[in-house]
């Protein structure tokens, strides 16, 4: 993904070209989704918050400064929504055991084991890079452009995070 292309798409969207949104969404949704998922640890809520992120971004599009990192701007909106969701959820006390079974020992809505493990042992930046490179299938140069990091840094963090996961799994398997 080229930052210039995304900048042009944002300008087209500002000018009223609704078709530009589809391409913007396709280029940015995975990075935003994994940033949200890291915070809320629930696929269903992450998907809802992803949609809310784009709704809020469309409403606040005039506040975006052209030439800055658009995926980072979107991700910030998504992370803020995710943190707010987590705060609200911590204050709620559910009495409906069927509504949120994972809180009561029934793990039907739990993330797959590796995603959960990765979220627990990796730092946020490592998790986001691994999810984008390994799960979402982005090339490292694309992730580099999304996150505003050098390609070498993305490659190094991806490799170190994978090594960290591998060591943890080997230690766990050997125990």
- Give the pLDDT confidence of 22-47 residue by residue, as tens digits: 999 999 999 999 999 999 988 999 99
- Map out the domains of the chain as residue ranges: 1-110, 112-175
Q: What is the pTM of this model?
A: 0.62
How confident is the prediction for the chain on average, in pLDDT? Answer: 84
Q: Select 112-175's CATH number: 3.30.365.10, 2.40.110.20, 1.10.10.10, 2.60.40.3080.
A: 1.10.10.10
Q: Select 1-110's CATH number: 1.10.1740.10, 3.30.830.10, 3.40.190.10, 3.40.50.300.
A: 1.10.1740.10
- Give the pLDDT confidence of 100-159 residue by residue, as tens digits: 544 444 444 444 667 778 888 999 999 999 888 887 788 898 888 888 899 999 999 999
Average pLDDT over residues 81-104: 67
CB atoms within 10 A of CB 131: 24
Provide the token pair at 60: 């606040």
**C-alpha angle 115/49/2, rounded to 5°?**
80
Q: What percent of the chain has pLDDT over 70?
A: 84
Residue closest to 136 by CA, chosen among 33, 1, 40, 38: 33
Contact between 144 and 154 under an 8 Å Cβ cutoff? The reply is yes
């Amino acid at each position: 993904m080229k930052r210039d292309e995304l900048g042009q798409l944002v300008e087209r969207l500002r000018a009223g070209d609704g078709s530009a949104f589809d391409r913007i969404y396709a280029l940015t949704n995975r990075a935003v989704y994994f940033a949200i998922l890291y915070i809320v640890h629930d696929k269903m809520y992450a998907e809802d918050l992803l949609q809310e992120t784009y709704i809020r971004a469309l409403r606040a599009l005039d506040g975006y400064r052209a030439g800055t990192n658009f995926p980072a701007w979107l991700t910030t909106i998504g992370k803020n929504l995710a943190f707010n969701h987590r705060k609200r959820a911590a204050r709620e006390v559910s009495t409906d055991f069927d509504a949120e079974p994972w809180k009561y020992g029934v793990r039907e809505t739990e993330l797959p084991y590796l995603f959960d493990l990765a979220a627990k042992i990796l730092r946020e930046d490592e998790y986001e890079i691994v999810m984008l490179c390994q799960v979402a299938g982005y090339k490292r140069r694309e992730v580099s452009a999304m996150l505003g990091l050098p390609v070498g840094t993305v490659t190094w963090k991806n490799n170190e995070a994978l090594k960290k996961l591998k060591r943890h799994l080997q230690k766990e398997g050997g125990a």
